[in-house]
Structures are given as C-alpha cells and as structure tokens.
Structure 1
Amino acid sequence: MKLTFNSNALKTLRAYKKNISEHSSSINNISSGKKINSSKDNPNRISRLGNFEKEIRGHQASRKNIQDTVSMIQSADSVMGSINERITRVRELTVSLGNGSMQDDEKAIIQNEVNSLLEGIDYEVKNFSFNGLNILGDENVKDNAQHGVVDVLSTGNAGEFTEVPKYNLSTESLGIGGLDINNEDISSVLEKLDNAASQVIDARTKLGAINNTLEDKINQSQSLEDVLVGSKSKVEDADIALEMVEFSKTLILTEANIKNMSKTIYFPNDMINILGKLYK
C-alpha cells in the first residue's frame, strides 16, 4: 500500500479549483450584469448575440439616415412656406392694380416690392442646402411635374430606399421670373402666379406625404429594435438573484474544500503513525 500518494487531497484540490472557477464566474456575471462575458461561456449564444447586435446597429444607422431626411424635408417645407407667402403677396399687389386709380409713382413702388419678393424667392431656393443637397433648386429639373429624385436608405437592410423628389422652384422655373405687373395683362399675371403657387403646393404635399411615411418607418424601426434588444437581453443578461445564489453556494463549497484539504493533507502521515504504533 502506497501511503505517500494522497488521493483524497487530490480530489479535494480538484473540487477546490472547480469551485474557485465557478465562484469567479459568478463574480464576473454579477459585476457585469451579463451571463455571457466571453465565447467560452456559451459559444452557441455568442453567435446569436452577434446577429442581434448587427441588426440593432442596422436599425440605429437607418433611423439616423431617415431622421436626417426628415429634417431636410421639414427645412424644405419651411422654405416652401415662405415662397408661398411671397407669391401670395405678389398676387395681392397685382390685384391692387385693378382699381385703375394708381399713379405711376405708386405703380413703380409696387413693382419694386414685387421685384424684391421675386428676388427673395430665388435667393431662398438657391441657398437652400442640407448636407450639401438642394432639393428645391435642382437646375436639372426643367418641369416640376417631372421632378428628379434622390434615393435615401430607409431601412437597416441594403438596397431598400425611399425616393425623395427634387424640384426647381426658382422664379424662372415657376414661370414668374421677371414679372412686370404694370405692363402685363392682370389676368395673365394672376394665372402665372396661381400656376406657380400650385407647383409649390404640389411639392409641399408630396414631400409632406413622404415625411409622414419616413416618420412611420422611424417608429417601426424603433419598435423592431426594442424587440431585438429584449431578445438579446434574455440571451445575454444575468439573473442577479440566481447569480447571488450561485455565488453563495460556490463560496461555501470553496471554504469547505479548504477545510478538507487541511485535514486530508496530513492523512498519510497519520496512517503511518497509526501503523507504527501497531508494530511496536
């Protein structure tokens, strides 16, 4: 019988190492709030977590793109509102000439105001820009009824875009460039102004509808992200109550292992002493 080999102490040491490892894992889970802190914790779930993270980030990125587009459309709508007010004012001035009692100097003052209003429209259209994009002053658009478009990524998936129309709302494109209300037929001038206002209203209506659609997509994306975050949490997050139970259990077992090792380590010597006494 080989008494120098202490199998009980070796078993206790192995149990001690196992409990120490599990105890350390519990501490990590409690401190991080997660039950998966590295690939060794659960290799299969790591892959699932990676897919969740990819989809979540995709939704976040797409919402940022969409929100930028919404902001651009809202800025454009503000400018178009100003353009519409200017056209309405020019129409009011044109109608005021219909009484036939104005003097030439009064007509000149009115024409100067008209010129200023039209210049204001061109200035707003030319200088509108959002992230370098001008959807109100696209010089390539010759007819606003056949406007251009710009594609905006509208989901977290590649290839899914929303078309945003681009217009040319300069006075020339609207048909009211260089308008001379004193020397043109009033009915003709009013017709031009009404047509210009109609183009602006049509642009606002289409962009407004797209704005609503994009805001709906933002809400849908947020809802989907919330579901993904919840699913990711179920896979990844630790149950702190259970982890505390595991922490306490492994702590007790570790302390018990230490006590056992302090006893079993002397077992061979004790046996030798006992046998020695028997043979005296």
Structure 2
Amino acid sequence: MGIQINTNVSSSLIQRSLTSANKEIEQSMVKIAYGRINKAVEDAAGLSISESLKAQARGSEVAYSNAQSGINLLETAESGLGSISENLQRVRELTMQAANGTYGEAERDAIKSEIQSLVSEIDRVAESTSFNDIKLLNGSNNDTSLQIGANAENATNSLKIGDALGSAKAETLGMPVGANLDNALSSSANAAQLLDNIDGALSSINERRSNIGSMQNRLESTVNSLQIKQENMSAAESRIRDVDVAKETSKLTQNQILQNSSALLLAQANQNPAMATILI
C-alpha cells in the first residue's frame, strides 16, 4: 500500500471529526450550564415564546407582591378603624349616661371630659394610621389603588382601595367637635340627639370595615391565583428553555470519547508522512 506524502487525507478527515467533537462538547457544556436556548440562532421561536413566558412569570411575581402589600395595608387600616370603633362605643356609653336626667353638673362635666378625650383619640388614630408613609384614614389618599394584574392592559385588575378608606376623623363621621360637642353634652335632651350622630358614625365605620374585609378576601384569592400562574409560567418557560441534563450529559460524554479517539488517530495519521520521509 502506498503512502501519500503531499496530501494526508486521513489526517484531514480526522481533524474535521475532532473539530466537530470539540464544538459539540463546547455547546453541551454551555447548555448544561445555562440552558438549551441562550441565543436566537439556537431556536428563534423558542426564545421568543420563553421570553414572553418569563415576562408573564415576573409580572405575576410583582403583582403577587403588590397584592400581599395590599393585604397588609388593609389590615393596618382595619386595625385603625377597629380602634376608632371601640372609642365610639365608649363615647356612646358615656352619652347614654349623659342623657340620664339624674346626673348633676359635676357628673356631666366628668362625662364631657372623657368624651372629649375619646374624640381627640379618634382624630389621632385617623391621622396617624399609615402604611409605608401612606396615610390611610385622614382622607388624603382616597385615590390609592393596587396593580394586581401581570400586564399593563389588566386595568380591570387594578383594585382601588382608597374607596374603603377616606377620612375617619370625628367631624367627618358626623360627630360634633369643639364647642358643638360641649353644646351636645350640655343637657340630657342634646345628649339624646348626640346618640344619633354616634350611631351614624358607627354605621359608617362598620361599612368601611365590611368593604375592607371584602377587598381582603379578593386579594387573598388573587394571591393564590397569581402564585399558581407564576409557577405555571415558570414551568412552561423551563420546559422550552432548559436542557435535558441527563440527555445532554450523555451526549457530552460521547463527544468526549470521540474527541479522545480522534486525537489519538490524528497523532497516528500525522506519523505516516514522517515515516515516509525517513524511508526516502
């Protein structure tokens, strides 16, 4: 059998095989480390779909966080309204005592003093109840809303929570304050009229607490839904984008074996011209 000196065909073929194995090994290592799709050239359609799914998953994650914050905000507001309700209940008890014609001036003054303190406490709670520096019960944030959808077009998933808040100060609730409160407690007849104001204030607080409860229930449901959606989107993205590690590892091993074999064969093939030169 003659030895070809000028053109080593075997060496060229083996070099091509070795180059291919090296490339396959590099691609397998990248896929195992970073996933099946890293560039559009690898799977343009798959990349586009997976990027859209990733955006949806991240949007759902942010909406989930928004909803959780909304629940915490509403719980804070409800706690403040609960405190105001307790104070109003005590004001009502004292007003009923003041409406009793058997009380003298000294007793009525003591009742008046406690009621004034309670009304001041109602205003303090209304002014100080806040969440992340957002005043909840002083009437300054009636337009507060939450984005609880994953997309910008999900305007229907924007929950306006300011409607359930509003000012919970005594005067806003229909309670007399200052000199008007003094006048309301000046006689048993006036105290009886004050009871109607207190009942109206309690009714307003109860309605707001009921609305907050409904919003909390909606947000709890939204949180569960968004969590499931985020998990599903992430799983779908993973199925498209991630690599089958076992399969790719097997492929990597095969190419590493091919790489080693090709390297040995290439060394042998490159020896043939050298041997021919020696013989000449």
Question: Normalising to structure 1: TM-score of the pair?
Answer: 0.86
Alpha-carbon distance in structure 1 between the residues aligned to 2:239 and 2:64: 24
2:93 equivalent in structure 1: 92
Deviation at 1:34? 2.2
Contact 2:96 2:192 in 1 (8 A): no
Contact 1:137 1:169 in 2 (8 A): yes
Alignment of 1:49-198 (within 5 A): 49-138=50-139, 148-159=142-153, 160=155, 161-164=158-161, 165=163, 166-178=165-177, 179=181, 180-183=184-187, 184-198=189-203
1:252-271 per-position Cα deviation (integer Å, ceiling 9, x unaligned): 10111011101211334556
1:254 equivalent in structure 2: 259
Alpha-carbon distance in structure 2 between the residues aligned to 1:24 and 1:149: 56
Q: Secondary structure at the match of 1:172?
A: coil
Deviation at 1:110? 1.5
Alpha-carbon distance in structure 2 between the residues aligned to 1:44 and 1:149: 42
Contact 2:137 2:168 in 1 (8 A): yes
Letter of the 2:159 partner, please give it. Answer: T
1:18-41 per-position Cα deviation (integer Å, ceiling 9, x unaligned): 1112112223333x2622344444
1:219 equivalent in structure 2: 224
1:71-99 per-position Cα deviation (integer Å, ceiling 9, x unaligned): 21111000000000000001111223355
The question of 1:235 aligning with 2:229 is answered no
- Structure 1 residue ranges without an equivalent (≥5): 141-147
1:12 equivalent in structure 2: 14
Q: Secondary structure at the match of 1:170?
A: coil
Alpha-carbon distance in structure 2 between the residues aligned to 1:18 and 1:150: 61
**Coordinate RMSD, CA, aligned:** 2.4
1:218-273 per-position Cα deviation (integer Å, ceiling 9, x unaligned): 21111111110111111122222112211210111011101110121133455677
Contact 1:13 1:261 in 2 (8 A): yes
Deviation at 1:200? 0.4
Q: Secondary structure at the match of 1:265?
A: helix
Alpha-carbon distance in structure 2 between the residues aligned to 1:137 and 1:11: 83
Alpha-carbon distance in structure 2 between the residues aligned to 1:77 and 1:112: 27
Q: Percent identity?
A: 24
- Structure 2 residue ranges without an equivalent (≥5): none
Change (3 A) 1:188 1:99: closer
Contact 2:95 2:192 in 1 (8 A): no
Deviation at 1:101? 3.5
Alpha-carbon distance in structure 1 between the residues aligned to 2:60 and 2:214: 22
